[in-house]
Structure 1
């Protein structure tokens, strides 16, 4: 394994924090060595500094995508933190049906990883509206920083292990199992999710209208407090009055700073 000098690691960590918000503490140096060592070896690069220069020089963006894939954790599964989905179905959707006069639901799954979260929301919406969906725009925006993971999400193919949290009725209704034991999501659900690359550290989010619901779960655990506070404020600014923010159960907003109102564990509302 290629060793990383302390100075190199700090430069790398600062670069990642500035551009992507991810905060690597000093004890993560060994983790970065493990995750990037083989990449450096494959490229015949002798140091992390050479690798950073290589990534910066690659105008295609593919090198940066590979780097992000290696250093980030894309662990997720269907129905993760199920209380959130129950609240979304039982409380949020009935409110939105009454409140959204133009029938344009704007739901954002930020840092969607391999797609389980937005597809779960799409299945809930399909079941909730049933035959009464005519006239409603229920498409979900799903974004991530990694082009590679977005491509996997768009494919809508999942292993049997990934399917364990789903109700059997959903497996039968929305998926088709192939001979290899892989499950392909139905096209009508895949078409309900729009995937796009967005870096949460971008200075401006490319939205013309505000969101009714934002899911940004298990992402801010990788940010320091200042970055969390700043991102929460940006979310607040693009949330419709009465709209909701869902974060991960291992996360929390500073209630002394945020303008969101606490609703229940990891759920907040703009009033």
Structure 2
């Protein structure tokens, strides 16, 4: 007999079940679920168990570890990852971008060079659009330049929100009025990112733990408040991969509590508050 709907997802995962879920999350994404997060796992996965009609975590674990459960595994990862973001979060980074980074990049772009920026772990796109607004304010002719922003995230639901570019009014509290007027259109109770700015950003689902499909390098990479959830070895490897993905002289912006691991072979050097630049030599 199947469990009544009212009890689906209400069971608490055992220590062994929590460990199995944590291990799968780590192997798939590099993200560490610290001990003591059992209640968080239950609250975030209860909806998934109810949707599948499952009463036991052991059945859910069997599913997400199977080939048939590949899609559910993505939904599990989506449920367990943290999506905290807002426009112009850590404002000093955007000031550094405007003052120290964009002038030479825009000059190169106007000479015909290709310029690429990456918002890695972009959540619902607010970081990527903050970058886009910073560019648009510095270069009103941005649409005529070979300049693009890649916004990637592991959560397909967040990618869909970002690609749509429609946000509730409360989400724009940190956007200056003049920028809101220039780059957003009020639609009912939501604000839609203007099409010209939206065209500057390309959204892609991407697991930072997996091989990256991008062939070209980036002049700027934002990866903020993402690596803190990774195990130390995964953190160190990600810094190395970002370094490999930067153009000479490129910039890496990280979160306020993150630091690039010191290493003998790194060419990344401090260039501001939680900002690094790749030596060109």
Distance 1:92 1:23 in 2: 33
Distance 1:119 1:60 in 2: 34
Distance 1:70 1:135 in 2: 39
Query: 2:191 corresponds to which residue?
Result: 183
Which stretches in structure 2 are left out of the alignment for 5+ residues? 1-9
> Which of 62, 67, 74 in structure 1 is aligned with 2:83?
74
Distance 2:24 2:267 in 1: 30
Deviations 1:19-54 (A, max 9, x none): 111101111122111211232133222332311332
Deviations 1:74-99 (A, max 9, x none): 11110100100010011101132355
Query: SS where residue 249 of structure 1 aligns?
Result: coil
Query: 1:114 corresponds to which residue?
Result: 124
Given that residues 103 and 135 in structure 1 are in contact (C-alpha distance below 8 angstroms), is that contact kept between their aligned partners in structure 2? no
- RMSD in angstroms over aligned alpha carbons? 1.8
Given that residues 98 and 134 in structure 2 are in contact (C-alpha distance below 8 angstroms), is that contact kept between their aligned partners in structure 1? yes
> Which of 161, 166, 171 in structure 2 is aligned with 1:152?
161
Distance 1:44 1:76 in 2: 32
Given that residues 2 and 41 in structure 1 are in contact (C-alpha distance below 8 angstroms), is that contact kept between their aligned partners in structure 2? no
Query: 2:93 corresponds to which residue?
Result: 84
Q: Does 1:259 align with 2:267?
A: yes
Aligned pairs, number: 268
TM-score (normalizing by structure 1): 0.92
Query: 2:255 corresponds to which residue?
Result: 248
Query: 1:44 corresponds to which residue?
Result: 53
Query: 1:19 corresponds to which residue?
Result: 28
Which stretches in structure 1 are left out of the alignment for 5+ residues? none
Query: 2:6 corresponds to which residue?
Result: none
> Which of 9, 12, 36 in structure 2 is aligned with 1:3?
12
Given that residues 233 and 259 in structure 1 are in contact (C-alpha distance below 8 angstroms), is that contact kept between their aligned partners in structure 2? no
Cα distance 1:206–1:99, how it changes in 2: closer, same or farther (>3 A)? same
Structure 1 position 208, deviation (Å): 1.6
> Which of 183, 208, 216 in structure 1 is aligned with 2:223?
216
Q: Does 1:205 align with 2:212?
A: yes
Query: 2:135 corresponds to which residue?
Result: 125
Deviations 1:219-269 (A, max 9, x none): 011112111111000110111110011111021122246431111221111
Distance 1:140 1:124 in 2: 12
Query: 1:103 corresponds to which residue?
Result: 113
Distance 1:99 1:184 in 2: 31
Distance 1:153 1:219 in 2: 17
Query: SS where residue 54 of structure 2 aligns?
Result: coil
Query: 2:72 corresponds to which residue?
Result: 63
Distance 2:163 2:136 in 1: 18
Q: Runs in 1 of length 4+ with deviation above 6 angstroms?
A: none
